[in-house]
Amino acid sequence: AELGLLAGADRVEGCIFGNGERTGNLDVVTVALNMFSQGVDPELDLRDIVSIGEKYTEFTGMEIPPRTPYAGELVFTAFSGSHQDAIRKGMAARTKMDKDALWDVPYLLIDPHDIGRQYEGIIRINSQSGKGGAAFILEENYGLSLPKAMHPVLGAAVKEAADKAQRELKASEIYDIFEKQWLKNGSNLKIVDLSETHVEGKSESEIVETTLCRAVVSWKGKQISIGEKGNGPLDAFSSALAQTPAPRFSITAFHEHSVGTGNNTSAVAYVQITCEDGNQYWGAGKSTNVGRAGIDAVVSALNQIS
């Protein structure tokens, strides 16, 4: 049919979703949107394909198979890790482009919004999903932009949960995994009390600002009072932890961003620590206080040590 149109045919005959009196009917929706994807106006209003599909099912009593081109439930969905990663990168690239830029995202022939579909279901997570899929879900739904180096550990935690559940995981379940594993994990180290004091002093002709951090922490159930100075809250707290039995470590990566707007804005910090034995662990912290988010991320990282 499409080759016939290219050869000069002025019309084609068919049925919505290819279901007519008998078999073998042309699916006019597929042909029209194939033309649309190539920049040809099919002169059919298909901007709300979801409603069209609902009416079709209501009037005929027939279901639309989930893999039906354009209208199927799973058409704009990727479970495969490599596909998810390509889509995630393509969608990220579009945020830096002009809004009128041509659509060019791997595995997505057209912009789902053009036919009334949404982005939310593009990447769905099961046990076969890759390391970047879960990170995409957290960024799209919760504004959490995890550093790429943290994607593998998140992906492993989500895959384990999906294997156990033997089903696809919802976005809220993925967030719950992240929250439990990184934001609320108090298995080894907990902060009981924390205070910071900013101190100004002189070094030769320059004024030097330091932070004095005092804290009461619980390490495996035992409370310990600690205190140390540093270049800032994170440096001071990390140095003070040397006064506990916690493993010695150095911070080898730090990322931070904000989520929310106005009075509801919070800072989210991601910290990678490298212990003396060479093992590396990622932690995450979230707080309305920028300095506290980084401190919580260090605590989170230490709590990843089994």
> pLDDT digit string (tens) for 223-238?
999 999 999 999 999 9
Of 79-83, 86-90, 148-152, the range with the lowest mean pLDDT is: 79-83
Mean pLDDT (whole number) for 120-137: 75
A 10 A CB-CB count for 178 gives 22
Spatial separation of the C-alpha atoms in residues 241 and 271, rounded to whole Å: 15
35: Cα separation from own chain's centroid: 33
Mean pLDDT (whole number) for 60-82: 87
- Tokens 């951090």 correspond to what residue? 213
Number of domains in the chain: 3
Answer whether 144's CB lies under 8 Å from 138's CB: yes
Q: Is residue 6 part of a domain?
A: no
pTM of the entire predicted model: 0.71
Q: Is residue 148 part of a domain?
A: yes
Q: Is residue 27 part of a domain?
A: yes
What values do phi and psi take at 114, rounded to 5? -65, -20
- Separation in Å, CA 114 to CA 2, 32, 47, 287: 21, 13, 6, 38
Spatial separation of the C-alpha atoms in residues 118 and 96, rounded to whole Å: 20
Mean pLDDT (whole number) for 21-37: 89
Spatial separation of the C-alpha atoms in residues 112 and 246, rounded to whole Å: 50
Answer whether 229's CB lies under 8 Å from 211's CB: yes
Of 92-96, 190-194, 291-295, the range with the lowest mean pLDDT is: 92-96
Same domain for 199 and 263, yes or no, is yes
Q: 193 - beta bridge partners? A: 216
Answer whether 236's CB lies under 8 Å from 217's CB: no
Q: Is residue 112 part of a domain?
A: yes
Mean pLDDT (whole number) for 50-70: 93
Instruction: Give me the percent of the chain exceeding a pLDDT of 70.
Output: 95
Q: Is residue 88 part of a domain?
A: yes
| Confidence class for position 75, pLDDT limits 50, 70, 90 | confident
Read off the pLDDT of residues 174-213 as tens digits, 9 standing for 90 and up. Answer: 999 999 999 998 889 999 999 999 877 666 667 778 899 9
Spatial separation of the C-alpha atoms in residues 286 and 196, rounded to whole Å: 18
What values do phi and psi take at 283, rounded to 5? -130, 160
Which carries the bigger pLDDT value, residue 11 or residue 70? 70
Range with the largest mean pLDDT of 94-98, 117-121, 240-244? 240-244
Residues in Cβ contact with 62 at an 8 Å cutoff, skipping those fewer than 6 apart: 19, 56
Give the domain CATH number at 228: 3.30.160.270
Q: Which long-range contacts (CB under 8 A, 24 or more apart) does 158-167 make?
A: 158/125, 158/129, 158/133, 158/134, 159/127, 159/129, 162/125, 162/126, 162/127, 162/129, 163/127, 166/127, 167/126
Same domain for 164 and 226, yes or no, is no
Of 71-80, 178-187, 240-249, 294-303, the range with the lowest mean pLDDT is: 71-80
Of 2-11, 54-63, 155-164, 194-203, the range with the lowest mean pLDDT is: 194-203
Same domain for 166 and 224, yes or no, is no
* Domain residue limits at 90: 81-183
Q: Write out the H or E segment, with its range, that includes residue 294.
A: helix 290-302
Last residue within a domain, chosen from 26, 53, 71 = 71
Q: Is residue 193 part of a domain?
A: yes
Mean pLDDT (whole number) for 153-164: 92
Which carries the bigger pLDDT value, residue 85 or residue 96? 96
Residues in Cβ contact with 14 at an 8 Å cutoff, skipping those fewer than 6 apart: 1, 20, 25, 26, 27, 28, 31
What values do phi and psi take at 16, rounded to 5? -65, 125
Angle at 18 between CA 15 and CA 23, to 5 degrees: 110
Q: Is residue 4 part of a domain?
A: no
Mean pLDDT (whole number) for 146-160: 94
Residue 251 has pLDDT above 90, yes or no: yes
Spatial separation of the C-alpha atoms in residues 89 and 71, rounded to whole Å: 24
Q: Is residue 5 part of a domain?
A: no
Which carries the bigger pLDDT value, residue 208 or residue 219? 219
Spatial separation of the C-alpha atoms in residues 93 and 133, rounded to whole Å: 16
Q: What is the mean pLDDT of the chain?
A: 90
